[in-house]
Amino acid sequence: MKLYYSPGACSLAPHIVLREAGLAFTLDKVDIATRRTAGGADFLAVSPNGYVPALEIEAGLVLTEGPAIMQLLADKAPGAHLAPANGTLERYQLQSWLNFITSEIHKGFSPLFKPVMPQEAKTLFVEQLGQRFDVVERRLAQGDYLMGERFTIADAYLFVTTNWAGYLGISLERWPAINAFRDRVAARPAVQAAMAAEGLKAA
């Protein structure tokens, strides 16, 4: 398998999951501005969406969208226990968290990276993100991870998206449970290895 990624982007989440799962893979770095891979290939020929992540499962077979990719990877390594079994209530609860992260947190951050976004609008987006962090804070005050005491693919995704707060100068001081969660996840060997491979500083 080959993961197309951009350092620190949401593709870091499936990168972490690949390492947590112990699956064999290669990496191909994508320049999002030019839509070219490190080898000079046209990324749009791989993924018409033009954004990462994209997972080449085999030649000619590519899966896009992080939550879908991470569930595939978790199912390929059931012994790693990165997702509950398909068909169980717990699996649907995991999917609920993945949906929440992708629609409420991930997309909540997206406008903040746009230089043309007016500051007044950015302030509103930050306030809205704070309301979403309140939800996560209440959940993490009850257990180490989103699904309880076991790390799952949803935790990888939450870790990566909350990482963006630091890049944007947004303080997470109001949410001690989220900060404790981030420390736990950052200490995981797979997370450290993924971040090092992408040339990122320690979380």
Q: How far apart are CA 112 and CA 101, in angstroms?
A: 16
What's the pLDDT score for residue 39? 86
203 has pLDDT over 90: no
pTM (whole model) above 0.85: yes
For the domain made up of 83-188, the CATH class stated in words is: mainly alpha
Torsion of CA 134, 51, 10, 117, to 10 degrees: -40
CB atoms within 10 A of CB 92: 11
Q: How far apart are CA 141 and CA 136, in angstroms?
A: 9
Protein fold of 2-79+191-197: Glutaredoxin (3.40.30)
Q: How far apart are CA 24 and CA 18, in angstroms?
A: 8
Q: Tokens in use for 88?
A: 């169980």
User: pLDDT tens digits for 164-200?
Assistant: 999 999 999 999 999 999 999 999 999 999 999 999 9
202 has pLDDT over 60: no
So where are the chain's domains?
2-79+191-197, 83-188
User: pLDDT tens digits for 104-154?
Assistant: 999 999 999 988 989 889 999 999 999 999 999 999 999 999 999 999 999
Tell me if 202 sits within 8 A of 196, measured CB to CB. Answer: no
User: pLDDT tens digits for 11-50?
Assistant: 999 999 999 999 999 999 999 999 999 989 999 999 999 9
